[in-house]
Amino acid sequence: MGKAKWIAGFLGWVSFGPIGALLGFLAGTVLDAQIDVFKRMTGFGESSPETGAPRSTTGRGYSPGEQRNSFMVSLLVLSSAVIKADGQIRQAELDHVRRFIRQNFGESAVPQAMQILDGLNRQQVNIYEVGTQIADNMNYSQRLQLFHYLVQIATADGEFTASEKSVLEAIAGAVRLSSSDAASVIAMFYKDAESAYAVLEISPSATDDEVKSAYRRMAMKNHPDKVATLGPEVQKAAAEKFRKIQEAYETIKRERGMS
């Protein structure tokens, strides 16, 4: 199956806006034609007579399959920005993306997905434009899980450079994650004396009651059920993130002798 036919199967809200432009450039006329049809049906890209701004598709319902596929395409686009952050394209990071594709979409999807990622790696991805589109169409829990994947990619080679951290922070801001949530996810992968507190978004000076309250808040915000519509593999990854929150809480409890 060629790239155009493969990526056309992922049309959802990513088929318009800056992500659609990136994918249209990669996939060619087959995807371009489908995007044109989508725009005609929804009116996306036409100016609002009231404001002069492009019309939004906010409110259009997307099926769980479309949400899951759009999540996957968003991951490919932002993965490219993370992979290129330090000026090098490292094999360990590419392998991490390859494993994600294989686990979620099967071996047959891997060659086409990696071709598309290769094409993205040859382009300039505007984090802020892409991030705005993602924030407008993806709920907070899904964006938080997307960011978790991106941090995993950045750490897949065992290093974490200042440029990678800078790009991740820019992505977090672009997709409208709070700085504390972004720092929490990063702390899940970089262990130091205060990382457990950072995971729970509190300081080491927090009281025991504040620790317990923070754990309950983070457990509720990051529960795997919140990304259930993205499919079992994404939910499984969310469960891993949930376990890291539990581990951070248990670490603090042991250090403090809390019951």
Residues of the chain with CATH 1.10.287: 179-259
Q: How confident is the model over 160-205, as pLDDT tens digits?
A: 888 888 999 999 999 999 999 999 999 988 777 688 999 999 999 9
Q: What is the mean pLDDT of residues 197-219?
A: 94
Q: How many CB atoms lie within 10 A of CB 58?
A: 8
Question: What distance in Å separates the CA atoms of residue 1 and residue 40, rounded to the nearest whole number?
Answer: 27
Q: What values do phi and psi take at 178, rounded to 5?
A: -70, 150
Q: How confident is the model over 20-35, as pLDDT tens digits?
A: 888 775 555 444 444 4
Domain 179-259 has CATH 1.10.287: yes
Question: What distance in Å separates the CA atoms of residue 133 and residue 13, rounded to the nearest whole number?
Answer: 9
Q: How confident is the model at residue 136 (pLDDT cuts 50, 70, 90)?
A: very high
Is residue 58 pLDDT above 50, yes or no?
Answer: no
Question: What distance in Å separates the CA atoms of residue 246 and residue 8, rounded to the nearest whole number?
Answer: 39
Q: What is the pLDDT of residue 203?
A: 93
Q: How confident is the model at residue 59 (pLDDT cuts 50, 70, 90)?
A: very low
pTM (2 decimals)? 0.75
**How distant, in Å, are the alpha carbons of 145, 148, 237 from that of 116?**
22, 21, 23
Do 211 and 200 contact (CB within 8 A), yes or no?
yes
